[in-house]
Amino acid sequence: MLLRLDLQLFADEKTEKATPNKRRETRKKGQVAKSQEISASLTLLLTFAFLLIGGKSFIEGCLNIYRHSFQEYLLWDLSIKSTQLLFNQLLLDSAKLLAPIFMVVLVAGLVSNYAQVGFMFNTESLKMNLGKINPIEGAKNILSMRSLVELLKSIFKISVTSIIVFIVIWNSKSELFLLGEKNIWDAARFIGTLIIKIGLYVSASLFVMAIADFMYQKFEFEKKIRMSKQDIKDEYKKMEGDPHIKGQRRAKQKQMAMNRMIAEVPKADVVITNPTHFALAIRYDVITMEAPQVIAKGQDHIALKIKEIAKEHKIMTVENKPLARALFAAVEIGETIPEDMFNAVGEVLAYVYFQEGRYKGMMA
């Protein structure tokens, strides 16, 4: 008994990588591979690094505000004007003190986002999606495999953080036991240093885990945007009928053809010009070619480009308005000169060969 196999079932399986067009459409919707944990952990890491480097200046700034408040501001006469002035001064001092930290947070956020998704701005993610408040969908999300993975990640992060905190405190236990014998400033300095050390170690470990999370998110994202063979066929058919895509393809083909044409100019024997509107590059080899050939031609800016390349390669340019116009209208790129123009082109080539000291057999 023969079993009939329905190949359409395999065509519907999403086994193919997403096409560039699918990726662009997905990106427009704000759907990208991204880990929120990278931004949070990098911000935390840079903040503690800043406190390690500039913590002393930060504390001195806080003490200066405290000192001025008691030594200067409390001596002011109480009035609406003095209260407003005091508020403005405290706000300015606090802003100067906190500005570096805010700058660190801003830089961390920008760098982490740009490193993951590049520059991206869209309003699609700001639109209200009623599906997100659907209780049935919410229950499915809670019981999904993704939720289980997130739970395991949280447990792992808490475990690693707890171990790091324990190790750092355990290694500093001898100084902790002597904390009561220190003066208040030494004790505060020790506790501050210990907190910064714990923060650096914890945030560094969280950053490493965030990188691993980003790799996982990228894997999940690639899996999510996979396409079936039928999807790719449908997309191709749709793009073939899109006038914008057709226009882009024609423009690209035209540019490639022009690049190939320009690359042939250095092989020319002479460039015949209008002189401003037309330029044609002519090549002739008496041994291998039956007649001179137009290897490049162009108008306006293309003509100017042909003349520039000819000048760079020391190819002679000859001005002949009637001949340039006639050749431009009658001969396409890659075609040979028609018989009725042999004499005119031959005279130009003979002149060029004479000027360059070359002699080739010319067609009568």
What is the helix (H) or strand (E) element at residue 340, kind and residue range?
none
Identify the three-state secondary structure at position 324. Answer: helix
Residues 171 and 47 in one domain: yes
Asked if 35 and 208 count as a contact pair (C-beta separation under 8 A), the reply is: no
Residues 209 and 300 in one domain: no
- Residue 87 falls inside a structural domain: yes
- 238 token code pair: 């749709």
3-class SS shares of the chain: helix, strand, coil, % to 5: 70, 5, 25
Residues 352 and 326 in one domain: yes
Residues 174 and 208 in one domain: yes
Q: Which residue has the tokens 């911000």?
A: 43
Number of domains in the chain: 2
| Per-residue pLDDT tens digits of the chain, which is 364 residues long | 444 555 554 556 777 788 788 888 888 887 888 888 898 899 999 989 988 888 778 888 887 887 877 777 777 777 788 788 888 888 888 888 888 888 988 988 888 888 887 777 666 555 555 555 555 555 555 556 777 888 888 899 999 999 999 999 999 888 888 877 878 778 888 888 899 899 999 999 999 999 999 998 888 888 888 888 887 787 777 766 666 767 777 888 888 888 888 888 898 899 999 877 889 999 988 888 888 999 999 888 888 999 999 999 889 999 988 998 999 889 898 899 888 888 988 889 888 888 877 654 444 3
Residue finishing a domain among 174, 198, 230:
230
Residue finishing a domain among 198, 230, 262:
230
Residues 94 and 64 in one domain: yes
Residues 83 and 225 in one domain: yes
Domain encompassing residue 277 = 247-356
282: domain CATH number is: 3.40.1690.10
Residue finishing a domain among 230, 258, 288:
230
- Residue 285 falls inside a structural domain: yes
- Residue 240 falls inside a structural domain: no
Residues 186 and 287 in one domain: no
Please state the φ and ψ torsions of residue 277, each to the nearest 5 degrees: -95, -35
Give the CA count within 13 Å in the CB-facing half-sphere of 174: 1
Residues 71 and 102 in one domain: yes
- Residue 236 falls inside a structural domain: no
